[in-house]
Amino acid sequence: MKFYGLLGESLVHSYSPSLHKLIYQKIRLDAAYKLFAFPPTELKKAMEGIRTLSINGVNVTIPYKETVIPYLDEIDSFAKKLGAVNTIENINGKLIGHNTDYDGFGLILNRRQWNVNGKIAVVLGSGGASKTVEAYLMDHGIKMIYIVSRNPERFKNTKNKRYTNYENAQSLTGDFLINTSPVGMYPNVKETPLSEKVIQRFDYLIDLIYNPSETTFLRLGCENNKQTANGLDMLVGQAVRAVEIWEKCSIDEQVTEELISEWKRQTGESL
């Protein structure tokens, strides 16, 4: 049996074990998937544990997508470009970092035929997930990105990318408003990163959070007749791609569609 898992700080309400179990059933893979939650001070020990216990591979979530990089033996060129790792494979004790969030985020847009070319996007958050979203938008012709950070002074502006803080974000307008921060995630479900007044100035709202399936952020979008999407497609898409990397296989797109449909039925998902 193969053994995989998820590294993170708070994983009590993670859907990943159930989702991976469903994927393994679909492709007839004899494997198990476990949660590994620990504080940031234990990251080095956790990485050593992957080697010691011969865990075949792990996913990485908040807050370790960037801080895990120094503990890897190798990082592929794509993850290096993004500056974030969410998937690690263990090949005979050699830990190799990858990023499958890019494909997962693309699935959100592709399944809805939302085109970002020539559009303006505001991205909330400046962590590893934000970098991945930024890269995808840039690669697909976005006109301008505003990245909202608590510490925008840490970053450098470019021709079509500007950093700002949450106070100044209150005056922004555009086409896509994308939340990559954990604001609104269970159990703090009543929180929203921006007010309804700001939300009203955008056409499309994407929240990478998938628990709850409809955050307060997305609910306000729906109430104002905006197009909305949560992070479920991204969750499924990145998980499928991770399994492809670990198992050196290709999973048919139809399987991904079946996984999304079955997961929605199981969770009562409506978005």
Q: What's the whole-number mean pLDDT along residues 182-195?
A: 90
Q: What is the pLDDT of residue 264?
A: 82
pLDDT digits (tens, 9 = 90+) for 113-144: 999 999 999 999 998 889 999 999 999 999 99
Give 242: exposed, middle or buried? Use CB within 10 Å, 0-12, 13-18, 19+.
buried
**187 or 138: which carries more pLDDT confidence?**
138
Q: What is the pLDDT of residue 186?
A: 81
Q: What is the pLDDT of residue 271?
A: 43
Q: What does pLDDT average to over the chain?
A: 94
pLDDT digits (tens, 9 = 90+) for 235-257: 999 999 999 999 999 999 999 99
- How many percent of the chain have pLDDT more than 90? 86
**268 or 76: which carries more pLDDT confidence?**
76
CA gap 203, 93 in Å, rounded = 47
Strands lying side by side in the sheet with 120-124: 161-164, 144-148, 120-124, 176-179, 204-207, 227-229
Q: What is the pLDDT of residue 187?
A: 82
User: What is the identity of the amino acid at 90?
Assistant: N
Measuring CA to CA, which residue among 84, 159, 31 is closest to residue 16? 31
Domains and CATH numbers, the chain: 2-99+233-267 (3.40.50.10860), 103-230 (3.40.50.720)
Query: Which DSSP state fits 211?
Result: S
CA gap 266, 89 in Å, rounded = 29
Q: At 269, is the pLDDT very low, low, confident or very high (cuts 50, 70, 90)?
A: low
Q: Which residues are catalytic?
A: 65
